[in-house]
Amino acid sequence: MVAGSARWLPLALATALGTAGIPAAVLSAPAPVLSRQSFVADAVKRTAPAVVTIDTERTVVVPGGAVITPFPFNDPMLRQFFGMPPGGTTRIPPSQRTERGQGSGVLYDPSGLVLTNAHVVEGSTRVMVGLPDGRRVEGKVVGADPVTDLAVVRLSGSGSWPVAQLGDSDTLQVGDWVIAVGNPFGLDQTVTLGIVSSLNRNAAKLGLTDKRLQLIQTDAAINPGNSGGPLLNADGDVVGINTLVRSGPGAGLGFAIPVNRARSIAQQLVSSGSVSHAMVGVALEPVREANGAIGRGAKVRSVMPGGPAARGGLKDGDVVLAAGGQPVSDPADLTQLVERHGVGRPLVLSVERGGQPLSISVTPVELSSLMPR
């Protein structure tokens, strides 16, 4: 452009002017070749050898009973002729049948320890673990925790077991890439890609009122058979254990247990075979402001008679704003803080009752001690 007016140069001249002063070696260098291998391939290559198939068998007892004998064998003469017992009914004795199931798991310890879901191995009488290298090894359930849907299986015998690296789920952010690996529908080593859609999804909001979990939500496809398999980050570290998928309307929502939670549960299962869950005996609900907005804290909906909260003086309608000096933003926060605090030690709750602040001390007890027998 010269003196404010646009002038166009011939292409050859423009090219010559544009490359003036650029070394010939640079001009003749080949264009960079884009890699055909994605970060997903690298991540899967690192961890896939430790992702296993878990085949289970469980014995189910079918109760016996009496059934009405169909015509014509309800005729007394025919029954006598065929040697059938008198009467119009036939007694069927109890029987047994074997149910088979399948899930996924991930080897996380060189001694042969596998992390999976509790519902994968629940009630199993036999567990067989299949490795990607073709080995099939019998496994023994070390322990299972239905409250967090986690279980640990130990492989029998000694061997060189491939191990996945457990990462840090606390570093996850919404939008991070995640990779689900497992064996859906018996299709070994299936890999799907997605992102972290949300963090800290309360299991109770998904209808799982018997679970104590804050879940990772992802749009990576998780299908039946993926349960117990790992959710990986972009580096191939395990950041979650896949546990369930939303089917029907709203399908495409998958959920995983954060690996930091899974690691803690696994340590307890290996050391004692069971998991301690602290509870104070209250039912909670969100705090509602006058305008309908959700406020900060956890409102006590009901108090279990004779429980730690009742003994400490907590009442229906109280709003818990802090526990042990840590702020409580919602009911899930309080549940988590009580669980982290543990059993048998006093926990000071900062409470608001009728607009007045109070401090109430409660001593959490084991969840199982408050469950109906």
- Catalytic annotation, residues: 119, 149, 227
The CA-based angle 189-193-196, given to 5 degrees, is: 125
Counting other chains too, the contacts that 293-298 makes at CB distance below 8 Å and 24 or more residues apart are 294/330, 296/321, 296/327, 296/328, 296/329, 296/330, 297/321, 297/328, 297/329, 297/330, 297/352, 298/328, 298/330, 298/331, 298/333, 298/334
Tokens in use for 12?
Answer: 């050859």
In the DSSP assignment, the letter for residue 94 is: P
Residue 137 and residue 105 in contact, taking contact as beta carbons nearer than 8 Å: no
The CA-based angle 347-349-351, given to 5 degrees, is: 165
Q: Is 208 helix (H, G, I), strand (E, B) or coil?
A: coil
Residue 193 and residue 40 in contact, taking contact as beta carbons nearer than 8 Å: yes
Give how far the C-alpha of residue 340 lies from the chain's centroid of Cα atoms, to the nearest Å.
19
- Residue 14's DSSP bridge partners are none
Q: What CA–CA distance (Å, rounded) separates 368 from 296?
A: 29
CB-neighbour burial class of residue 84 (10 A; exposed 0-12, middle 13-18, buried 19+): middle
Position of tokens 């061997």?
159
**Residues 6 or more apart from 284 whose CB is under 8 A from it?**
298, 299, 300, 301, 320, 331, 334, 335
